[in-house]
Amino acid sequence: MKSFRFLLILACAAPLLAQPVSPPPREGAIIDTVSVAGTGRVRLQPDRFSFTVGVQTQAPTVEEAVNENNTRVAAVIAALKKGGATPEELQTSGFSIFPQQDYTQGRLPRLLGYQVSNNVTVTKKQIGEAGKLLQAAIAAGVNTSSGLSFSVSDPTRGRDQGLRAAFDDARAKATLLAAAAGRTLGQALAITEGTEPYAPPRPMRGVVQSMAMKTDSSDVPVESGTDELTFTVSVVFALR
């Protein structure tokens, strides 16, 4: 009886012992990659300009200096509006009052009067009106001017072309690196757009130091040139 029970146990255990043992899971194959950054540049015609004009006045008292400045700045703003600038395109960008003192050696500072400055910045999209508005401001009485610059108001104008150029640049770099390592380039595994496109303003700086120039001269000649927008992408390629 005992022998029968032993044989029965062996018969039940035999199928379990006969099952093959599964191998341990293998780690996924590591894909060799190369990471590069590409840059694309696009040149566009600017469609926006900006410049700052101002009036400086001096007088023995603050009230006199401010009143004279107010009158002259009001005339400048009126001339700019008459020349085609809208209220939205005009912005006061600086107002200051400074005492004028005599620091002659050996003496205590002596108050001579006060200088008042008021600046107005013009920003407009019609490039062709830059020279006309500058001349209008000069004729109205400004005696300081600075920061004439040109820019592209909508950088997305060149986005598609710039991003394609940036990717092509990245792929060319990756191909070169792959060849140097004795490999060939595979597909792009990840693409990340870089920072926002940047187009530095093109300044044409000048300073008008004379007092009011009531002239019938022609418009100030200006040239806007072109702006360069820069786009970047980071790409991870597989290596074969």
Q: pLDDT band for position 116 (50/70/90)?
A: very high
- Per the structure, the count of domains in the chain is 1
- Tell whether 70 is covered by a domain: yes
| Contacting residues for 237 by C-beta, under 8 A, at least 6 apart | 33, 34, 35, 36, 171, 174, 178, 185, 186, 187, 188, 189
What residues make up the domain containing 63?
A: 43-157+195-236
Mean pLDDT across 14-27: 52
- Tell whether 72 is covered by a domain: yes
CATH number at residue 103: 3.30.70.2970
- Tell whether 153 is covered by a domain: yes
What's the token pair of residue 102?
């005599």
Q: Is 66 exposed, middle or buried (0-12, 13-18, 19+ CB in 10 A)?
A: middle
- Tell whether 152 is covered by a domain: yes
- Tell whether 26 is covered by a domain: no
* pLDDT per residue as tens digits for the range 192-226: 998 544 444 444 433 333 333 344 456 778 777 78
Q: Give the model's pLDDT for residue 222.
A: 76
Residue 129 near residue 112 (C-beta atoms within 8 A): no
* pLDDT per residue as tens digits for the range 23-59: 555 544 456 999 999 999 999 989 999 999 999 999 9
pLDDT for 19 beyond 80: no
